[in-house]
Amino acid sequence: MPEGHITEILDNTPFIALTQSELSAIREHTSSCSECANAFQAAQISSVLLKERISEAATSAANANPFFQTRVLAAWREQQEQASAWSFRRLWNTTGAIVASMAATTAALAALTFVVPVTDTNNQQTAANQQAAALLPYSAETVVLEQDQGDNQLTNDQVINAIYVDDDEGR
């Protein structure tokens, strides 16, 4: 027990934990020191206030909201949904470029596979028709119907060739 004021004891020890010997020493000192008497009373009131505050907290905790569990689970679900949306976004940010380039490649391949061959086929068919037309310059009908114009069918080249062939044979 120090010889001086008792405030150090009051600040070092909880009021409820003061021993009997400490309390009697405090009382002895406060009988002659009004300053410490005031400090002791303040410590006592502080202890009462805390006790009441704790008691109120215990009562409030016992009467908790019955829907608290529902509220927490709702918040939990919301958090989970946000987390999954966020993880999808993160995945997209990481792989988005690759996925986009793969999609573009697939589209290009599809175009090459389905669109270009159709055009090719059309072109091939046109070419085949032209070739056939070249091989068969006259249809049967033309031949039959235009029998009278047989001479007119000879081209100038054919005529010239025919003349010069005769000449060559003469030499």
Residue 93 CA to residue 29 CA, distance in Å, equals 75
Of 64 and 140, CB closest to other proteins: 64
Three-state DSSP state, 146: coil
Shortest distance (Å) from residue 27 CB to other proteins: 14
Of 16 and 132, CB closest to other proteins: 16
Shortest distance (Å) from residue 8 CB to other proteins: 10
Of 21 and 60, CB closest to other proteins: 60
Of 74 and 97, CB closest to other proteins: 74
Instruction: Name residues whose C-beta falls within 8 Å of residue 7's C-beta, 6 or more positions apart in sequence.
Output: 36, 39
Shortest distance (Å) from residue 95 CB to other proteins: 24
Binding residues (CB under 8 A) for other proteins: these are 7, 10-12, 14-17, 38-39, 41-43, 45-58, 60-62, 64-65, 68-77, 79-80
DSSP secondary-structure letter at 113? I
Residue 137 CA to residue 143 CA, distance in Å, equals 10
Residue 29 CA to residue 39 CA, distance in Å, equals 12
Shortest distance (Å) from residue 63 CB to other proteins: 9
DSSP secondary-structure letter at 138? S
